[in-house]
Structure 1
Amino acid sequence: MSMATSITANLALFLLCINLINIMSSALPPDFSILGYSDEDLTSPDKLIHLFELWMSKHSKSYSSLEEKLMRLELFEDNLKHIDETNRKQRSYWLGLNAFADMSQDEFKAKYLGLNQIGVPRSRGSSSVFRYENAGDLPKSVDWRKKGAVTRVKDQGQCGSCWAFSTVAAVEGINQIVTGNLTSLSEQELIDCSSENNGCNGGLMDYAFSYIASTKGLHAEEDYPYLMEEGTCEQKKADLEVVTISGYEDVPENSEESLMKALAHQPVSVAIEASGRDFQFYSGGVYDGHCGSELDHGVAAVGYGSSKGQDYIVVKNSWGSRWGEKGYIRMKRNTGRIEGLCGINKMASYPTKDQ
């Protein structure tokens, strides 16, 4: 090999190493594709428009007019800039271009949240006793998905029915734990029949638990499928098989220790504030982004653990499997806040099932 060739080869190797160092030091996660964009998409209007068209195709988006499309493009660009700026701060989580990328924060809040506490004081559970109060020697980690007590991630769509999905996830969990059978249950029945709640306009998990306990039970999803809108309560399904619960209990308010005790024994319905912009575009990692404790969304805690020194709670959402970590979010715990991150310790409850 000639000296000139050797110098050229060494220079190429040096440039390659520098490039790799730059990539490895980036704030973005190793699998860059999960974010839905690249650096080049931020450099010119043409590239941005091309990215928007690809995003529209991926999420089956269409608009009624050119004016609306241009308005959505502006929102998309603004959201993309926020996503990229956040990712470059090297947080413990990252954001991505999901199906909500053409929506304003206010529009997102109006369509996809649905915990309704206005004028609805929270009642205590069917028993004032917290059965897990004296639980000790909790495992370091729990994942009810691996234990077969969690069904697939579902999608509430543009209906404020998160409270029903949170309730159902917890009931599916305790039913599997007690009976050994994992049955996907009907959120639609709760929307149609739980009269203390407000269907697609919001509700509370405790009221939904009360409905299930006071009736003959909840039907399977396949027998009473989800419509993404309010329907009429179908009494004719009374002869079909149902899943029952004995009652429900509330986890002591603002006690992370109590939440962990309950979660070590079964999936738990929890309420959080999910209206933050980072939460809207969460794509992965242990979330510790900005959020308050004005509860506006019902979800289900299905496990807990730790990763790289970060303790977290595994939360099952109802925005489909393309949001977050295949429909889940790991929310930081041990934050030092009595109410927990996004208020997760404030209003937790779970169903009980004696047999």
Structure 2
Amino acid sequence: MTDSIVRAKGWRNDLEDQSFLYGAAVKFSYLKAAELPEKVDPRGKIGVKDQGQVGACSGFSRSYCMEALSNGIGGQGISFSPMFCYLTGQKTDNLLGSDTGATISGGIKASRQYGNCPDHLFPFPGRYVSTIPETCWEPAEQFQLLAHSSVNSAEECRQAIGSGYPIYLGILWDQSMDTAVLDTYRVRNNGGGHAICLLGYEGDYFYMLNSWSEKWGDRGWAKWHVRAVEAMIRSQYSEFFAVSEIEQPEPRQWNYEQMPLLG
């Protein structure tokens, strides 16, 4: 079930730095298909956020990826500031100063250069602002994304997630995707670009976390079938990348089972 409120998106696929995204990508080491965990279920372990009418989806999805890495792998229990992520991505994209969205490439570059700020230092204001508090910069440097890898199939998505790495992605989005279960995907270019992330899987479905509050989808989450994800990846209007907080990614285990449920 989804609510009727129209929320912003904000992924600028028209401005993506393709030379960086693919030229700076590295090959991650993944588990073989037979070695992957049967499921990875982060629902209830990562807090659902709401970007409202701010075009900050790239910042929200980046903050989710950092929380998956810091909490689902590192067990640190940290929430990251989506507004810091959005604005530093905009800064890298030369878009800072107006609510015009940002890119996946800008988010990855910014996460390497500036890091990611804990949320309590820059809570989401519910509207666009362009000034980053000075208290954010130094703490943010402790939490960086240091590597990314292009994902070229739904099976690679499963391998990446099963090996301990979330998927940071951007796709074209329209109203047909406002559903808690998505079985098919058809490329459309009239709905705008949206950045989200894949954080888990079970059976033939991936768990996608959106940034439109718990009123959207299944308490903020959606299940995407592998054939829908495969169609997204094949589209020329999409970007799918596994991201890591370490420079030479090797397989590791999630610890979601040991984390307490939120709320």
Bin of the TM-score, shorter chain as denominator length: 0.7 to 0.9
Tell me what 2:220 maps to: 327
Output the CA distance in 1 between the equivalents of 2:76 and 2:31: 28
Q: Does 1:206 align with 2:99?
A: no
Output the CA distance in 1 between the equivalents of 2:188 and 2:201: 20
Find the partner of 1:190 among 82, 85, 88. 85
Q: Aligned-pair distance for 1:201?
A: 1.4
Tell me what 2:156 maps to: 258
More relative contact order in 1 or in 2 (CA 8 Å, sep 6+)? 2
Q: What secondary structure does 2:60 align onto?
A: helix
Output the CA distance in 1 between the equivalents of 2:241 and 2:233: 17
Q: What secondary structure does 1:218 align onto?
A: coil
* Alignment deviations for residues 294-351 of structure 1 (CA, whole Å, 9 cap, x no partner): 5711111111113xxxx2111000000001100011111135x853489599422233
| 1:274–1:300 Cα change, 3 Å | same
Contact map agreement 1:144 1:267 (CA 8 A) in 2: no
* Alignment deviations for residues 267-316 of structure 1 (CA, whole Å, 9 cap, x no partner): 221222221x2323x2x3x322553165711111111113xxxx211100
Contact map agreement 2:65 2:166 (CA 8 A) in 1: yes
Say how many residue pairs are matched: 237
Q: Aligned-pair distance for 1:125?
A: 5.7
Q: Does 1:296 align with 2:193?
A: yes
Find the partner of 2:29 among 119, 132, 154. 132
Tell me what 1:114 maps to: 10
Output the CA distance in 1 between the equivalents of 2:170 and 2:156: 15
Q: Aligned-pair distance for 1:155?
A: 0.2
| 1:243–1:144 Cα change, 3 Å | farther
Partner amino acid, structure 1, of 2:143: T
Larger radius of gyration, structure 1 or 2?
1
Q: Aligned-pair distance for 1:241?
A: 6.5
Contact map agreement 1:273 1:342 (CA 8 A) in 2: no
Tell me what 1:166 maps to: 61
The sequence identity of aligned pairs, in percent, is: 18
Output the CA distance in 1 between the equivalents of 2:23 and 2:42: 24
Q: What secondary structure does 1:124 align onto?
A: helix
* Alignment deviations for residues 196-226 of structure 1 (CA, whole Å, 9 cap, x no partner): 23363111223212212112x2211111111
| 1:166–1:239 Cα change, 3 Å | closer
Q: Aligned-pair distance for 1:160?
A: 1.0
Contact map agreement 1:272 1:293 (CA 8 A) in 2: no
Tell me what 2:259 maps to: none
Q: Aligned-pair distance for 1:240?
A: 4.4
Contact map agreement 2:205 2:225 (CA 8 A) in 1: yes
Partner amino acid, structure 1, of 2:231: E
Tell me what 2:258 maps to: none
Q: Aligned-pair distance for 1:157?
A: 0.5
| 1:351–1:178 Cα change, 3 Å | same
Tell me what 2:134 maps to: 235
Output the CA distance in 1 between the equivalents of 2:62 and 2:23: 15
Q: What secondary structure does 1:302 align onto?
A: strand
Q: Aligned-pair distance for 1:190?
A: 2.4
- What does 1:66-145 align with in structure 2 at a 5 Å threshold? 96=1, 98-100=3-5, 108=6, 112-122=8-18, 123-124=20-21, 127-132=24-29, 135-136=32-33, 137-145=35-43
Consecutive unaligned residues in structure 2, runs of 5 or more: 248-263
Tell me what 1:42 maps to: none
Output the CA distance in 2 between the equivalents of 1:239 and 1:129: 27
Contact map agreement 1:116 1:203 (CA 8 A) in 2: yes
Q: Aligned-pair distance for 1:134?
A: 6.0
Q: Which TM-score applies when normalising by structure 1?
A: 0.59
